[in-house]
Structure 1
Amino acid sequence: MKYEKALLLVLAVTMTIITELDLLPQIHRMGFYCGDPKLSHDYIGDTVTARYLLLISFFIPFLILIDKNLYQSSFSTYLLMYITFIIGYCLCISSVNFFKILFGEPRPHFFDTCKPVEALKCTPGSYVSTFTCTNSDLRRARDSTKSFPSGHSALSTFSAGFVLLYISNKASDWKRIVQVLCIAWILSCTVTRIFDHRHHWWDVLSGIVYGMGLAVITLR
């Protein structure tokens, strides 16, 4: 069992590194409707940056250390739980990154970030199936077609959801505080993705569902 978990950890970390470094080619890119208002927002950045998302989500399970009752009888039990969390954490990141290059959905700021040359001369309402981004920032141009699903929503929900499910049947004076912090983290990472025009609402919803589902599977 220990060797199986160690192998899973190595595979999950490897997949995360490969997908985070953007080493996989784009599998598919959706087209767009010329002048689509859903894709015409300006790029304004992230309220919750990717760096803070990764760091805070990674350290959220440490909230369980507030009270020994939350991680049962021994610290070794907590370590086993945390290793399990890291495996799911890495699988969440890598699988969401893969879905992004698989679906290739334009972000709400697609026109502003990709700057497709085809959008300059197409008839409003007509569908453009293939396009070429003219933005000199290649990383940002490629990111403009990675809207589905929301990685912020999936990862924040997975990390906080994992802790919420883990402590649900445990008695502790700190339990309510941990629950409130976890829910606040999910809300801050999901709602801001829509207000920042970084994702469509269905991207965020799918990320929440996927993240919570993965949390349940990881715990079981």
Structure 2
Amino acid sequence: MNGNMLKAMVQPLKLSSTLRFLRTTRLFQTSSFEFLPLSKINKDDLGHSIIYHKGTLPPGSPKTAHDIVSTGVKAAKILSLSSSVAGVIMVPILSNYLWDAAAERPTMMMFAIVANTFLVLLSFTPLLLHFLAKRFPLDIFYNNDTKTFTTISYNFLMRRQALRFNANEVVDAQVAPEMKKVWIPLATAFVAKKPLLISLDRNQYIDKLAFDELTKNIDIPLNHD
């Protein structure tokens, strides 16, 4: 009798522990999304591109709106990377020169402080550009079999990186609590707390059904383009 009572008491505890473990595991899985190198993903596993761009259109087709923005993002990344290299070399030299000049001529101290502040801000510009550029997907793939989306973007060193997720993990930026925590609230969606600038214009997508699946959690205004 005592043994049966003990077993009856233990079983709910085991079930409760199992449920807690499953919830914890699920939470870990849905919050551990990280960008990974595109080269590590099998092309067959990517699926197909769902956006109209030069890679999905016949040769000689005019540039799409997505192509124009992608070109701008690439140019900004190249500029930021180039300025980063120049900044690493020039900023310490210029800063040292200014402080030496200020030490010899105290009247230049205010100018040296202002100039060094400007140089520091200039050094952070590439980081700001990267911070914004990585939100824009250069391409979006969809695997019909696994129901997995993959967004492609540039990392700081201009290498392509991928973020993989399913539609249930997409959160509308208008209601996402993370929107209040990012430095610059510029995003249309969040995936695992990562802001993304996904186009909400259905006409920009070659696979309309995949777009509908991708944005099912996003409240898109009528006649949005």
- Give yes or no for TM over 0.5: no
Higher RCO (CA-CA < 8 Å; seq separation 6+): 1
> TM-score w.r.t. structure 2 length?
0.29
TM-score, normalized by length of structure 1?
0.30
The structure carrying a bigger helix percent of its residues is: 1
